[in-house]
Amino acid sequence: MTVSKDKSRAADRLYKIIEKYLLPLVLGAVVMKLVFDTYLAFYIKTYTAVFAVYECVLFFIFEKLKKRKIIRFFAYMLIAMAHLMLSFYLIGSGWTDTGTSFVDWFYVNTSEVGEVVQYDLFLVVGLGFFIVSVLYYFTCYRYRIFGVMLVTLFPFVIYGKRSEGIPTIWLTVMMTVFLAMMVHQRLVTDETKKSDLVIDPSYVIGAALFITTAGALTMLLPKPQHYSQLEEGTGIFRFDYRSNKTDYDDLNDVSSPRFGADASGEALFTVKTTAPQSVIYIRRQSFDVFRNDQWELSKNYNTYYGLADGEENEVNSPAFVYRLMKDLAETGRYEEFGITPDKFGNYGEFAETAWMDLRSDSYSPSYVPAPLMARIDALTYCDKNAHGEVNYSSWYNTRYRGLGVSYSYYPEDEAEYSYLTSLGLTHDRFLRFLAEAYANGDITPEMYSNFLRIDRLYTDTTGVSEEVAQLGRSITKGYEYDYEKAEALVDYFVENGFVYDEFFQPDDESIEYFLFESKTGVCSSYATAMAMMARAAGMPARYVEGFAAYEKLPDGSYQVRDSHAHAYVEVYLAGIGWVSFDPTVPGYMTFRSNNENNNGANNQALMTFMDYLSRIILFLIVVFVLIFIVLLDRIIELCFRTAQLFRKTDSRRITALYKRIVRLLELSSGRYDNIRGHTPHEMIALAAGRSADIRKAAELFEKVCFGSYEPTAEEYKLAYKDYKKSWKALAGKIRKRNKTHKAKKAAV
């Protein structure tokens, strides 16, 4: 009997521990799981499991400190300082080992900035400690629901700053656990110990009904879309801060991942131009430095679009460089470099300008993509009025969603290429020419400094292996001018059997594997390889991401889809400036077009259908769980009665039947210690108080248990029949109804 009581007390103690700590611990684990999903590429489940153990340990320590009123504050501060110092160490170590700043890692996808193990550990040590501390304080020490709400806000803040949406299923789980804490934790926390709390089936069912219903409504009701504005860049094509953000919208500090693209073929916008070409390259941004197998923006020369107001960035514009070269040629002082007036046309500008118009009813980006030589002075903005009519307006009057913008630009066409081939400057001669022009006072010190900065930054071969550099030098060997070298690099991929395949998953994602082994990849691999080899050959080059517009519509405009996102290269050629080169083998247009024709609209429809289907399935699961909870006691009873059919002897059936009776009385009364020690006759009296007749079952059990009696089938049937009549009374259902009825009668 003593052993039985000890087990009972241990079970009761365990029950109270679970009752008090389970929900806070689950909420902490769910919140951190959402955070891990955002920052980790691998081992998310492992990190979540480790954090679950970690928060259990912290809860245990906090509970021990809670009883030490004098030293608990100082002990907690000591633990917090240790965690803070370790967090600073991990952040510093991550920056030293990878070169990826904590800010970049915090705001940009892991697939783009790369995995930083130290920062991942910081999530557990730093952020995890803070979340556990808040949870413990506001659930086990001072119950404040708004304090608990702070924890649930963390995922919203993180996902919002990164312009991402929390997965519906995990949002539902988190909010469901939070609602459960509102209903349950208020009654079991230390501040409400004196309240008369009875955890019975009615309490569990009532709480579960409320929580699951609220969770289902949270999941199914349409939610307004809120977009967090990321830190502003310095791009000139700022359009509308209330934009409908997509993966192809905001500027990034690092390039997009080279593998695993998931474009659906969704139409983003249309392009109409007065200078139609077979392919129009519309740039979004360029990158300067290759590090950690990805391109990054240089902190020393952070210009997103290559064009901006002010003299500092004018040297990036081919139109500006053309006019400068023409003016210098007319001085007559640079004939030794071949810079003579006859090399330049009669145009007042670099070439004849063209107009480009971008339109979309739904796509509303923050930064409008544009060709290399767009003219910002001619940029116009427009919006739509209530009647759907397009109105051109100023920057500050953009009020409606959608894209409507026009600008002039210099198309990269035959006039440019003719000038390139006639100029006859190498990069080294161009630098000497600039030095002499600076010495003669024909260019300003600032302008000369910016030319040199371009040369220094974009010939940086950081991250370029000797194997790749050697290939670049061998391909360009024998060519004198940079334009010829760049064309040779483009031709290399076509002439050596390279293949475009956006679904290709290589065994090795390095550029070396792409160039020397697989020879299969996507545009980002081709552009990265060419930019590396161009720099190795002494040419300033940069990696560019944007769109390739080639899908012509019947009206002559171009349809640009998310699958038309494209990477290519810009090379700074002597005497002209940045010129676009596309090293991706021509097959990519056919590959994408076929894929879009077969799957574009279907994929979008399928994605929409799957989204709604997943919501419906999730709702049905919630409903099923709801019904299961409501009918839980009946389901358990059905399982018991089914098991009785398969018991081999009537003595075993009687024993199981009596144990079931005791269990029902335990659950309905909540007095575990007293009931378990009752004799069969005491059980009969207790059941009689609930209007339940268990006499036959109890007496038969006593004979079987203490007299080695083997009952007949008829005796078992009679006992079982009485049990079925008394089941609801034993479970406390009839008694509660009678009490309710008496209370109503007394009130009348």
- Over residues 602-624, the pLDDT tens digits come to 555 555 556 556 666 766 666 66
Which residues, at least 6 apart from 242, have a Cβ–Cβ distance to it below 8 Å? Answer: 227, 364, 401
Measured CA to CA, the distance from residue 37 to residue 30 in angstroms comes to: 11
For 43-133, strand residue ranges (E) read none
CATH topology (fold) of 284-352+414-549+563-585: C8orf32 fold (3.10.620)
Percent of the chain with pLDDT over 70: 69
- Give the pLDDT band (50/70/90) at residue 583: very high
- Give the pLDDT band (50/70/90) at residue 164: low
Measured CA to CA, the distance from residue 292 to residue 260 in angstroms comes to: 18
Question: Is the torsion defined by CA of 609, 610, 611, 616 positive or negative?
Answer: positive
- In terms of average pLDDT, the best of 151-165, 402-416, 475-489 is 475-489
Assess whether pLDDT exceeds 50 at residue 492. Answer: yes
Assess whether pLDDT exceeds 50 at residue 240. Answer: no
Determine phi and psi for 308, rounding to 5 degrees: -160, 165
For 611-658, strand residue ranges (E) read none
Measured CA to CA, the distance from residue 738 to residue 689 in angstroms comes to: 13
66 in Cβ contact with 93 (< 8 Å): no
Measured CA to CA, the distance from residue 290 to residue 277 in angstroms comes to: 31
296 in Cβ contact with 543 (< 8 Å): no
Measured CA to CA, the distance from residue 577 to residue 317 in angstroms comes to: 6
Per this entry, what is the length of the chain? 748
CA distances from 554 to 166, 272, 551, 559, 601 (A): 40, 12, 10, 10, 18
Comparing 12 with 225, the larger pLDDT belongs to 12
Residue range(s) in the chain whose domain bears CATH number 3.10.620: 284-352+414-549+563-585
Average pLDDT over residues 482-494: 93
Assess whether pLDDT exceeds 50 at residue 226. Answer: no
257-304 pLDDT per residue, tens: 777 656 667 788 899 998 878 888 988 888 888 887 788 876 554 443
- Give the pLDDT band (50/70/90) at residue 370: confident
Matching residue, tokens 């939610």:
223
Q: Give the residue among 738, 740, 717, 728 at the shortest CA–CA distance from 665.
A: 728
For 208-327, strand residue ranges (E) read 267-273, 280-287, 289-291, 294-296
Comparing 24 with 404, the larger pLDDT belongs to 24
Tell me, rounded to whole angstroms, the distance of Cα 740 from its chain centroid. 52
Measured CA to CA, the distance from residue 225 to residue 201 in angstroms comes to: 39
Secondary structure class of 222 (helix, strand, coil): coil
| Angle subtended at Cα 611 by Cα 607 and Cα 616, rounded to the nearest 5 degrees | 145
Across the chain, mean pLDDT equals 75
In terms of Cβ atoms closer than 10 Å to its own Cβ (0-12, 13-18, 19+), residue 185 is: buried
Assess whether pLDDT exceeds 50 at residue 311. Answer: no
Q: Give the residue among 357, 315, 337 at the shortest CA–CA distance from 557.
A: 357
Query: In the prediction, which pLDDT does 175 show?
Result: 80
Matching residue, tokens 């790369």:
114
Average pLDDT over residues 664-679: 70
Query: In the prediction, which pLDDT does 86 show?
Result: 92
DSSP 333-389: --GGGT--GGGS-S-SSSS--EEEEEEESS---SB--B-TTEEEEEEEEEEE-TTS-
Question: Is the torsion defined by CA of 740, 743, 745, 748 positive or negative?
Answer: negative
Assess whether pLDDT exceeds 60 at residue 204. Answer: no
